[in-house]
Amino acid sequence: MIHGGEIYDKRIEMDFSVNLNPYPCPEEVIKVIRDAALHIDKYPDINQTSFRQKVANAENKLAGAEYLTSENVIGGNGASELIMGIIRLINPKKVLLPVPSFYGYLHGIRACGDVEIEQYQLNEEKSFTLDEGFADHIDESTDLVILGNPNNPTGRLIQNDLLEKIIRRCQETSTALLIDECFLHLSSGTISAAKYLDLCEKLFIVNAYTKLFSIPGVRVGYAISSPKNIMAFKALLPEWNMSVFAMAAGEVCADIVATTDFVERSKDFIASQRSIMESNFASTDLKVFSSDTNFILVNSPKRLYDFFLEKGILIRDCGNFEGLGSGYYRFAVRDRESYERMKQCFCFLT
């Protein structure tokens, strides 16, 4: 299992392997995707004019400051395309990567050929939280640092003071820094690194509406950087890398973020559901790691993946994550009804 959501060759009734927002997607998002079918006889806007401006507005609203303009933003076919594209743009010879972290980073790095990967092992006893020692590993030989904030599969945010320290260190060493914020707007306690764009010339931020609006099949991602970096990056992307469906969905998602409290309501709902799940998990023989977002990492000597799969429930076996190994599993935070059905299996865990 390389990613979550691998449902097509299995009998699955409930999917806890994909980390989507359990708070309901607004109906206007679904409607605009349906309505976009009326425009399939037209090419999408090659300049993404409206989409880029609306994303900038949305990010500025969440940050509470006017950090971004449309020139700081470029859209993509999900975060995966953008992560791989930024790595290709940097074309690194040496990359510093905390482990465990999202498999897609390694996939993008290895696509660049012969790249030295320095792995920084996160401490299990500290719930795999990024620590001060990481910044000390960034030097002039480091071409690229990749961070998830929050990290996947651990669910841990980077402390704001440490994040700023890393950003300043990357500027000192002329190191590119790619920060994946795909779960940031589903987490509490921090804001986007976009506020630090002026501190680091090679800072790139990737996000997507995939997780926030539970629309992974539409593929709506965006990257944030300086206008100079965005122009250079755009030259590496396909000319029409967003469909009319993705662009229409992305624009209405951005409008919802900018004009409603959808993000805040989602965060509150997730925090409440996560607290219930963590409490119930803790009453079993699972080792539960603290999370700041919409998924929970656990450790168990029992074969949880196979057990739940037999019940029609898909969870994420984290055995292929560098820095973890067998016995680690990730559960998405889902709605109360889904969780109550899944909890009926807990007799196996006690």
Digit-coded pLDDT (tens) for 255-301: 999 999 999 999 999 999 999 999 888 888 899 999 999 999 999 99
Torsion-angle region of 134 (φ positive above 0: left; ψ -120 to 50: alpha; else: beta): alpha
pLDDT of residue 187: 97
In degrees, rounded to 5, the angle at the alpha carbon of residue 234 between the alpha carbons of residues 231 and 238 is: 160
Pairing mode, strands 14-15 and 203-208: unpaired
Nearest-angstrom CA–CA distance, 207 and 220: 9
Instruction: Report, at the CATH architecture level, how domain 27-259 is classified.
Output: 3-Layer(aba) Sandwich (3.40)
| Helix-strand-coil split of the chain, %, nearest 5 | 45, 15, 40
43-65 pLDDT per residue, tens: 999 999 999 999 999 999 999 99
Q: Look up residue 76 and give its two tokens.
A: 């993509």
pTM to 2 decimal places: 0.95
Kindly tell me if the per-residue pLDDT of 108 is higher than 90.
yes
pLDDT of residue 325: 85
CA–CA distance from 156 to each of 127, 132, 179, 266, 343 (Å)? 8, 14, 14, 18, 24
Q: For 182, how many CA atoms within 13 A lie in the half-sphere containing its CB? A: 28
pLDDT of residue 315: 95
pLDDT of residue 9: 65
3-state secondary structure of 203: strand
- Whether residue 265 contacts residue 118, with contact meaning beta carbons closer than 8 Å, is answered with no
287-343 pLDDT per residue, tens: 999 999 999 999 999 999 999 999 999 999 998 899 998 999 999 999 988 888 888
Residue 216: is it exposed, middle or buried by C-beta count within 10 angstroms (0-12/13-18/19+)? Answer: middle
Q: Look up residue 153 and give its two tokens.
A: 């599969």
All structural domains of the chain with their residue ranges: 14-25+262-349, 27-259
Strand ranges for the chain from DSSP E: 14-15, 73-76, 94-99, 116-121, 144-148, 176-180, 203-208, 221-224, 287-288, 295-299, 313-314, 316-317, 328-332
pLDDT of residue 4: 58
Please state, rounded to an integer, the average pLDDT across all residues of the chain.
94
154-202 pLDDT per residue, tens: 999 999 999 999 999 999 999 999 999 999 999 988 889 999 999 999 9
Which is more confidently placed, 339 or 66? 66
Q: Look up residue 41 and give its two tokens.
A: 């006889």
CATH topology assigned to domain 14-25+262-349: Aspartate Aminotransferase, domain 1 (3.90.1150)
Kindly tell me if the per-residue pLDDT of 5 is higher than 70.
no
The answer, yes or no, to whether the previous bond of 98 is cis (omega within 30 of 0) is: no
| Count of beta carbons in the 10 Å neighbourhood of residue 92 | 22
pLDDT of residue 6: 61
Kindly tell me if the per-residue pLDDT of 132 is higher than 60.
yes
